[in-house]
Amino acid sequence: MNATMADVMHACPVTVNMADSIDSVEAVLNAHKLSSVPVMDPEKGDCFGVISLKDINRLHAARNNAKTVQAWEICGYKAIEVSPETPVAEAAGLMVGYGIHHLVVSKNDTVQGFVSSLDVIRSYLLESENSDG
C-alpha cells in the first residue's frame, strides 16, 4: 500500500476550542455529522486532544448537568499526530497499537487534516479493488 495520510485525510477539518462548552461541541458534531473532532489550544495554536461522541455520552451518563464542562476537561489528551507523508500502513499500525480510531495530521505544528479508522479501511478497500481490476 503506497497511500499516505495526505491521500486519505479530511483536509482542513472541523475543530473546536479547548474552552468550548460540551453543548457547543455537540452542536458542531451534529451539524457536520461527525463522531469526533480535534480540540485546539488557541493560545499555542496546536491540537490539545480529540473529543468524541463517546466521551460526551459518558459525561452525560455520569452527570445530570454538563453545561459547565469544557471540551478540554473530557477530551482524549495529546492526540496522536502524524505527518501528511506518513504511509497509511504505518498509521494503521499506530491506531491498532494505541487502540484509537482517529489521528491528527499535522505539519509544522499546524493541523492539516483528520483521519479515522474508517478512512484507513476505505483506503485499503479502494486499493484492493484497483489491484483486482
CATH code for the domain of 80: 3.10.580.10
pLDDT (tens digit per residue) in 63-90: 767 778 899 999 887 788 999 999 999 9
- Supply the pTM of this predicted model: 0.81
Structural domain span for residue 39: 5-132
Q: Is residue 7 pLDDT above 70, yes or no?
A: yes
Cell of 21: 462548552
Retrieve residue 55's grid coordinates: 466521551
Please count the structural domains in the chain: 1
- What is residue 24's predicted lDDT score, i.e. its pLDDT? 94
Write down the number of H helices and E strands in the chain: 6, 8
Grid cell digits, residue 22: 460540551
Q: What is the pLDDT of residues 44-65, one digit of tens each?
A: 888 899 999 989 998 988 876 7
Q: Helices (DSSP H) in 1-133: which residue ranges?
A: 5-8, 22-31, 53-62, 71-74, 88-98, 117-132
